[in-house]
Copies of this chain bind each other. A is one copy, B any other.
Amino acid sequence: MSTVGLQLRELREKAGFSLRKAAVAIDIDVAILSKMERGERKFSKELVLKLAELYKTNSDRLVIDYLSEKVLYELEDEEFGLEALKVAEKQLKYKKQNEQ
């Protein structure tokens, strides 16, 4: 399982950016980016998108993983986490249908 942070770290390195350069480019403190890549702090969706753009990568997969991590964080150690996800899925599907 590769976290969004580690994915973005790989992408950064492949794109040839140092932490500092990347941080400056998206206008945040280097300490924050360092912590985010290592999972010590949570990303915001906005930053994920900015970084994806900086690294010239499609952001869809990253956003999906970002959201998934967010959700799993909410459900950590919950006995009924899986059941909750299934209910949520059902309701989201229902909502999508009656929307379009």
Kindly list chain B residues whose C-beta atoms are within 8 Å of the C-beta of A94.
1
Interface range on chain A: under 10, 10 to 19, 20 to 34, or 35 or more? 20 to 34
Copies, count: 2
The CA-CA distance from A64 to B65 in the complex, in Å, is 23
Secondary structure at the A interface, as helix, strand, loop or mixed, is: helix
Chain B interface: which of A22-30, A32-40, A69-77?
A69-77
19 contacts between A and B (CB under 8 A): A1-B91, A63-B80, A64-B83, A64-B87, A65-B84, A65-B87, A68-B87, A70-B74, A71-B74, A71-B88, A72-B91, A74-B74, A81-B92, A82-B89, A82-B92, A82-B93, A85-B88, A86-B89, A89-B89
